[in-house]
Amino acid sequence: MTNPVNDGIFLKACRGEKVERIPIWFMRQAGRSLPGYRKLRETHDVLTLTQTPELAAQVSMEPVERLGVDAAILFADIMLLPIAMGVEVKIVEGVGPVIDKPIENPDAIVRLKSFDPRNIAFLQETIRILRSKLEVPVIGFSGAPFTLASYLIEGKPSRTWLATKRFMLEHSEAWYTLMTLLSEAIVAYLHAQVEAGVQAIQLFDSWVGALSPAEYRQYVLPHMQRIFSALKNEKVPRIHFGTHTAGLLRDFADVDCEVIGVDWRIGLADAKDRIGGKALQGNMDSAILLAPWETIQETVDSMLKEINPKQGYIFNLGHGVLPEIDDQKLKKLVEYVHST
């Protein structure tokens, strides 16, 4: 049986409402630094964990139970969508997603299959398990089309994304076709997650900061606008997150969403000015959590002075939890933010 929607501080903050305490969760909180996840990784690879509902739910719940965060994020991988579209993906330790047959020319796009929700039945089951056991909201997510296209073209993570940019600039029509195909799949993918019970959704555009503002407006923004507009009827908060987006932020916020997530490369006051009336999520540098507690506390205090943290704000990191971070520091950070 699905638990009723917990209309607590996270969802209220997403909607820009006043809250009694600051909501907090962490990107990549499910896994990495937590002992339960590390134990499971001794006998299971990442993709097996994400595709086994009971185990994925266990990993998703651990940070809620151990750290006291105000939302759970579905333990999944952004490459699950390309996998469901027929792409062969390996997760290589220390490297990340690796695709043996990347898209090297426009003709290769035809290898991508249309997304069929039946290919992610395991993910929907994970969501149903979480909704039956958790009292905090469950966040679903997808990679954004530029980030997914980058992996499909490069074949693995890159520092420069030159192959992606070259494809985008040399084959603009094929790029449009690829982005449209991915955008339509993302909408269906997130719809399937909402249908299963997630109470908020986030799009990760981890690599879009590699583009200039002009490139972003021409080659990416129209697709993002269509995705977020198509998700409006889902009636759940929509979070738009990217890294290295300080120079893109006004355009980045020019989509129909409730929340903009930012990394540490921009101050919260400046970010709030650029995103207008949308709620703000972020943006402590994950590396700060490797410092002594006094430094962490000073950073939090400095961040929160820049904005009204009890209306339209969600505390988070500027990117994911690092494997080296002590989970007891994360717990102490949650308690401190809640007490502020």
Task: Concatenate the DSSP letters of all residues of 253-294 into one string.
Answer: T-SS-SEEE--TTS-HHHHHHHHTTSEEEEEE-GGGGGS-HH
If you ran DSSP here, which 8-state letter would residue 298 be given? H
Is 250 known to be catalytic? no
DSSP β-ladder status, 90-92 and 138-143: unpaired
Tokens 């507690």 belong to residue: 293
269: CB partners within 8 A, 6+ apart: 306, 307
Is 32 known to be catalytic? yes
Handedness of CA 25, 30, 33, 35 (dihedral sign): positive
Calculate the CA dihedral of residues 217, 222, 225, 229 and round it to 10 degrees. 170
Which amino acid makes up residue 332?
Answer: K
Rg (alpha carbons) of the chain, rounded to whole number = 19
Which of these is catalytic: 37, 70, 77, 263?
A: 77
Under 8 Å between Cβ of 140 and 11:
no
Is 28 known to be catalytic? yes
DSSP string over 56-84 = HHHHHHHHHHHH--S-EE----TTHHHHH
Output the pTM of the full model. Answer: 0.94
Which of these is catalytic: 37, 151, 189, 216?
A: 151
Note the pLDDT of residue 7.
75
Show the tokens assigned to 158: 């890159």
Rounded to 5 degrees, φ, ψ at 195 are: -60, -35
Which of these is catalytic: 7, 15, 21, 41?
A: 41
CA 255, CA 257: separation in Å to the nearest integer?
Answer: 6
Note the pLDDT of residue 31.
77
Note the pLDDT of residue 2.
52
Rounded to 5 degrees, φ, ψ at 306 are: -80, -20
Note the pLDDT of residue 1.
45
Note the pLDDT of residue 93.
81
Could you state, in order of their start, the residue ranges of all structural domains in the chain?
9-339
pLDDT in tens, the chain (340 residues): 455 555 789 999 999 999 999 999 999 998 778 999 999 999 999 999 999 999 999 999 999 999 999 999 999 999 999 999 999 999 888 788 999 899 999 999 999 999 999 999 999 999 999 999 999 999 999 999 999 999 999 999 888 999 999 999 999 999 999 999 999 999 999 999 999 999 999 999 999 999 999 999 999 999 999 999 999 999 999 999 999 999 999 999 999 999 999 999 999 999 999 999 999 999 999 999 999 999 999 999 999 999 999 999 999 999 999 989 999 999 999 999 999 9
CA 187, CA 220: separation in Å to the nearest integer?
Answer: 15
Is 151 known to be catalytic? yes
- Fold entry, domain 9-339: TIM Barrel (3.20.20)
CB atoms within 10 A of CB 171: 16
CA 336, CA 37: separation in Å to the nearest integer?
Answer: 25
